[in-house]
Structure 1
């Protein structure tokens, strides 16, 4: 009976495994998205974040912005407009991923045409929106790219706008300028100086402090001798009660 149940359970798990492999081969991109959405709600995976590559065309400048390198956002310029991707440190985009080939693929910009993804006959392949590519493939804004098991989004930016200046009444509600901060500090310092000048050096400023042992009076010279003695007496009395308990 137990043997039959074990065989049945093994066959069931193998069947589920084959179903999962089939789904991953045909809809790997969809499963990657589902897994990433699940990871967003796991507190232990706070370090995980959206991986991306952004191609920027600005006047005569062409460059990439990405966080694939050491999990830090970087701007990458390359005079030939070719950014290689792989696990070898010599690549323009180096990612520590064991499913990447040493030089897995490249993103290339061709003038007046756009950005292309080129696979270098990698072991685990390159995919755009879940489709395996074998020839240079033009990238569109929002494409999902998977190299081996490394998945990231590609964004395209070729528009540049200069925004108008903000109204003065709105700017005053934002972070104050350095000049205003310095002026406020000078005003506060002057007010404090005037307050100090009102107090004679010979006067004693009394500060009342409520504590567990009663009300104490502080002067500029600290506690008076009688107060120090009272504090020590109360401390020893409290210690004696604690030891008796």
Structure 2
């Protein structure tokens, strides 16, 4: 019985050592296994997915990440070097006792891309499960571990200009001020400007021709309803004006 207990203890110690080595060199694999096995458990549903996203937009380069202050932030750095560590002055400060004060950094090199470098930290850094030594060029989807923190690295590689949204869809994107009023989108208001400008040009031509002066003499003798109908016909141009047509009832 004693020999059996001793053998069982040795077996468990051996498995524990294997687990430690596996976690040290392939922590991302273990994290994925645990996520799949415990996906239905409430604890794992609340797990925060950490990431760093490298963005290159023309001449502007910055990082988007949720590692700082538990919220997504845009991090811009003039030298394009984002330090990672326990130090409060680090670009990405992570409160982790297993992380060195100046642990690592992500650097962008023109025309080459983003790189990861470990500053000879005590517990090291790992990229896709491999210990990080020297400059390591990062790829979209790389898994990085610093201290006890694991995060995914993403970066933009291409840009696309999307087509304009159809007019019938724009009509659904209306910001309502009240139950009876709505604020039409700016682009819809802009479409009405050429029509207004054209109307102003037409009025200028008519005034120069002298027809407006004659029309004003007739206009004074009309009722308010007749004046309203004349103006509506003039601006809408829905039907040509016929002098012989009677106005009003």
Tell me if both proteins adopt one fold, taking TM over 0.5 as the criterion: yes
Q: CA deviation at 1:165?
A: 1.9
What is the match of residue 33 of structure 1?
32
- Is 1:64 aligned to 2:63, yes or no? yes
Cα distance in structure 2, aligned partners of 1:19 and 1:77: 41
Equivalent residue for 1:177, pick from 152, 175, 178? 175
Q: Which SS does the other structure have where 2:68 is aligned?
A: coil
Judge conservation of contact 1:66–1:74 (CA < 8 Å) in 2. yes
What is the match of residue 80 of structure 1?
79
Cα distance in structure 2, aligned partners of 1:164 and 1:69: 35
Judge conservation of contact 1:117–1:137 (CA < 8 Å) in 2. yes
What is the match of residue 150 of structure 2?
151
- Is 1:12 aligned to 2:11, yes or no? yes
What is the match of residue 221 of structure 1?
none
Q: CA deviation at 1:63?
A: 0.2
What is the match of residue 102 of structure 2?
103
Matched residue pairs, number? 182
Which string of whole-angstrom CA distances, capped at 9 and with x for unpartnered residues, describes residues 20-61 of structure 1?
123334433311222344454321344422110000000110
Q: Which SS does the other structure have where 2:107 is aligned?
A: strand
Judge conservation of contact 1:58–1:159 (CA < 8 Å) in 2. no
Give 5+ residue unaligned stretches, structure 2.
183-249
- Residue 130 to residue 22, structure 1, CA distance change in 2 (3 Å): same
Q: Which SS does the other structure have where 2:181 is aligned?
A: helix
Which string of whole-angstrom CA distances, capped at 9 and with x for unpartnered residues, describes residues 84-116 of structure 1?
001111100011112111110000011111111
Q: CA deviation at 1:180?
A: 7.2
Q: CA deviation at 1:134?
A: 1.2
TM-score, reference length from structure 2: 0.66
After superposing the two structures, state which structure 1 stretch, 105-114 or 7-16, moved more: 7-16
* Greater than 6 Å deviation, 4+ residue runs: none
Q: CA deviation at 1:64?
A: 0.2
What is the match of residue 190 of structure 1?
none
Which string of whole-angstrom CA distances, capped at 9 and with x for unpartnered residues, describes residues 131-154 of structure 1?
112111111111111112211110
- Residue 71 to residue 38, structure 1, CA distance change in 2 (3 Å): farther
- Residue 138 to residue 168, structure 1, CA distance change in 2 (3 Å): same
